[in-house]
Amino acid sequence: MAISGEEYAARRVALAALLEERSLDAVFLHPSADLEYLTGLSRDLPSFGNLSYAHGWTAGAFLAPDREPLFVLPRMVVDFHLDGTPPEGAVVVHEDADGRALFAEAARSIGAPLRVGVGARSWAETALELQQALPGVELIEASRLVNRLRRVKSAAELALMSQACGIARAVLRAVAAGVVEGVSMSDLVEAVEHELRVRGSRCPSFPTHIFTWGERRLDSGDASAVEPLREGEVVLFDFGAVVEGYCSDFGRALPCGEPPDGYEDARAAMLAAQEAGRVAAVPGALAREVNAACRAPIEAADLGSGFRHRMGHGIGLDVHELPFLSVEDETPLEPGMTFTDEPSILVDGSFGVRVEDVIVVADGGGRVL
């Protein structure tokens, strides 16, 4: 199921209402999850370094009430990232053009705005040029505003996220038999990412992380990634899939042979914690209360020092989204919000154990995707 043009249009109508409520004339969003959410303009795959083009800071779109999005895009973005076809009405900035003048003209064409929202991770140069183009303009951080729309998922979004979650589960089933003595974390990462690709994931939703936590630590992110696994060590998986821009985030722990002493008791506490968090994820509950419910069984088992993070985080077009199921977050939960439910226990010098699934807030407790 893809997101329909009607749903994108409805999202922009909802954005317009928020802009009017906050006395904002427009927003400028760079290519991002926010812009994809509102217009369908797909993001590129993540890159380790920046991809730089002439006038790259101009890339994005102005969105204002009662207007179609006005895209400003460097020519090379159009030709090499959009198959040569710009969105209707887009301002295409060629390399030898006056990018500042074209950007300023586009900014002023939306009605001499006085208050403009800017995506949180837009280029600083973009913000500075907006101030030059619109003297006296007040710039407001806009991503938290768009997050108000993004945090509750539609049926189409949940269907895509369910598909991404299903891929992740299938991948784990496919690679689980490979957790044997002598395998390396690099071997397992290669297997996971191969299975993600062949099962339809566009890419990993974040860098695949596979590691152990015991007398020694093997980690896919450092030099120990190539060291062979030993009998009795526990491998922790953390990875996700991407379907039509929507993410999953998935985790499990698999022992190599017989698990170490204390592992099964810790695993039972962790699974009780995950279930307690899921049950607590009902409409009206505060995010911090759900986090506390998840922590309680682990604390009761005297393993609280090993639970080093939060119960979970929002997830959707970004793998980490606001709000967070965490001690500091006072957000009341709403039906259709999606979160990870991911308690873990890391016992220094012995083992680690983790589990992670995506849940949807619902009456009676979170529904597992």
Q: How many helices, marked H, and strands, marked E, lie in the chain?
A: 10, 18
pLDDT tens track of the chain, all 369 residues?
789 999 999 999 999 999 999 999 999 999 999 999 999 999 998 888 877 899 999 999 999 999 999 999 999 999 999 999 999 999 999 999 999 999 999 999 988 889 999 999 999 999 999 999 999 999 999 999 999 999 999 999 999 999 999 999 999 999 999 999 999 999 999 999 999 999 999 999 999 999 999 899 999 999 999 999 999 999 999 999 999 999 999 999 999 999 999 999 999 999 999 999 999 999 999 999 999 999 999 999 999 999 999 999 999 999 999 999 999 999 999 999 999 999 999 999 999 999 999 999 999 999 999
Q: What is the pLDDT of residues 146-178, one digit of tens each?
A: 999 999 999 999 999 999 999 999 999 999 999
Q: Is 195 exposed, middle or buried (0-12, 13-18, 19+ CB in 10 A)?
A: buried
Q: Can you give the pLDDT at residue 60?
A: 97
Q: Can you give the pLDDT at residue 50?
A: 79
Q: What is the DSSP letter of 67?
A: S
Q: Can you give the pLDDT at residue 10?
A: 97
Q: Can you give the pLDDT at residue 299?
A: 98
Q: Where are the domains of the chain?
A: 5-150, 155-368
pTM of this structure:
0.95
Q: Which CATH superfamily is domain 155-368 in?
A: Creatinase/methionine aminopeptidase superfamily (3.90.230.10)
Report the alpha-carbon distance of residue 131 to residue 110 in Å, rounded: 15
Report the alpha-carbon distance of residue 138 to residue 147 in Å, rounded: 20
Long-range contacts of 120-129 (CB under 8 A, 24+ apart): 120/144, 121/30, 121/32, 122/28, 122/29, 122/30, 122/60, 123/30, 123/56, 123/57, 125/57, 126/28, 126/30, 126/57, 126/58, 126/60, 129/57, 129/58, 129/100, 129/103, 129/104
CATH of the domain spanning 5-150 = 3.40.350.10
Report the alpha-carbon distance of residue 107 to residue 125 in Å, rounded: 15
Q: Does this chain's domain 5-150 share its CATH topology with 155-368?
A: no
Q: Can you give the pLDDT at residue 49?
A: 83
Residues with Cβ < 8 Å from 296, sequence gap 6 or more? 273, 276
